[in-house]
Structure 1
Amino acid sequence: MKKYINKLFVICSLLFLGISCENDAVLTTLEQVSFSGPVEASSNTIVLSTENENQSVTTISWPAVKYPINAPVTYALQFDLPANAIGATAWSKAVRVEAGENVLSKSFIGSELNKLAIKLGLPIDVASKIVFRVEANMDRKSYSDAIELTITPYIKQVISGEIYMPGSYQGEWNVETAAALKTIDNGIYQGYVTFPATEGLGFKFTSERNWDQFYGADANGNILEGSDTDFAVAQAGSYQMTINLNTNKWTATPFSWGIVGDGTAAPTNEDANYGWNHSIGMTYNHQTNIWKFRGELRVGNVKFRLNDSWTINYGAKNNDEGIMYLDNPGAHYIGEAGMYEITFSIQEKDATTGLFPASATYTVTKL
């Protein structure tokens, strides 16, 4: 009897494996996919300058890639130098720009293309060649042929200067220790401020570290010289403040560096990678220009990212250097659970290129 049971078991196992292999074949032997037509750029030779920095300088378009599965296709563009687009390591250093799901074109304004060209190392005021290709991705990736562009990048000259932002976020309105907003363009200033939940939300601007010339809000909340009405943000938090004295407008955009990693939070039933998917925001000290976190950490890894997104992130190569590198996959390892203070010091984006620095410094201190 046992012999027959064993035979039946073997037959059933073979049938199961046969069915499994057949299903795997359906999933892994999908037909080849490719771009059905040429990729085109509305302009292949582009001279960039301050005159076209806010204008569309080229639009790249491509045909849809038809996959056998009826699902959204995600498209992106890869840009690189011609020499880096050939050989065994082709495209490994490419700058990648997301286009979106089922999107068949991407337009670039002058400032965007200028940042990209400078990031690739093109010389200023010299016509140089780059190449790009389109990436289609669903269950696997397909790439278009490479297309060549000739780009002449430029460096934007910026007049230096500052205005100041006294406010209740300081605990007291002290113009001498108020946040300094630096020039990013003629008449336009930018800086970073954290509004603690324990303080108020009001503020003003001054042209010097005194009250001789100050700016408050008009009836519509715009900038008015000499107004006694305070500006105010909507709620506590960290912001990138942008002040335009040419248009008398200001904006407060949520902006926060945060720590992220499995050293910050335990997995949950809903998210096994909770620590990697949720940043913990840091607070900004406008006098020292340092971002700070203080709290409990677990054994695990931590790194830094901007605005709870992986678009801009920094990782460590080791625990001893005290340096974080842009887009580095490494992290700082927390070897012992407990209360920690972490600081992150990073230069602002380059005013001429709009690019984040290649590295930043940090400290990790167990309290």
Structure 2
Amino acid sequence: MKRILKSVFLLSLFTGFVACEDEQELRFLEAKGDFAILSPTSGDAVVLGPETPLNPGLSLTWAAMDYGTPTSITYVVQIDKAGDNFDSPLDLVSTSNTYASVISEALNGASVSVGLTPFTQGAIEIRVKSSVGEPASQERFSDVITYLVTPYSTALPKLAVPGAYQDWSPGTAPRLAASAFGETDYEGFIMLTAGEFKFVAPDPAGNFNWGNTDYGDDGTFSGILTDTDEVNCAVSTTAYYRVRANTTSLTYSLEPAAWGIVGAATPGGWDASTPLTYNPTTKAFEGDIQMTAGEFKFRANNAWTINLGGDPDDDGSMNYDGPNLSVDASGNYHVVLDLSNPRQYTYTLTLN
């Protein structure tokens, strides 16, 4: 009995000693001084590109923060657009090291998120936050450096096409897309009912609303676009159209496009297109076609003026005048040609 009581007494002493040690450590844990970013140097610059997404976009080192006693420290690299005073900082990396590397793809997304413009050099500010414990306490911040970043975008510029056919709502209107960032050669395929419509550009945040720059016809209805004293554009016939607009040359065009499939693999061979039917629910052309093994393409209006084939540039979209497509096995296929996403034209063949 005495041995048990003695063991309990010793355990209590040990536990109390450990508790005192923990309390003493917490009591004397106090940040001492400041810490600084060592590299890069304020004013250094980087140009980012989509072709090298895994390359380092930012390699950062900093001095260790001193909390007065050895302890585990968490560091968080934060950025914000220069001049925003870190009112809404974006956390890039959390680490226990005194260094961090951020790949180009991640830095690009972060830079655009805090407000930098793609393909234009802009300044971000970088700082490192230190803290100890869980939850974090004793937060301290390093000095702030300025880093010049030229980000990129893989999103294609867009125009909205609101009109009577969809209750004049720019936010929900079909879009046209330019061929690349910085280009103004907008294109898309839209089912238009007889009536009027316009073209609406996005605001700086990418939203489509009335009050943004909008374009219409100059009044001659000869394909001339204007954003001054314009009148609504119009079509007199309900049809599926290839719609194109160029806000630099100020021109636009409307071409009816009834789509079909053509080629050695199709019932009509290379001489006659087998028509597909527009499905307003899926916004795609569809059909059940008896096909044989062989090559084929898609074309509009039973002619070769507008035709789509393979994707040799591997950008996820069928190309105009692209290489022949092919099917390996004969059978009855459900064919879908989807042109609803501008400049991202796709198709599927599903064996019935």
Q: Report which of the two structures shows the higher radius of gyration computed on alpha carbons.
A: 2
Q: TM-score, normalised by structure 2?
A: 0.39
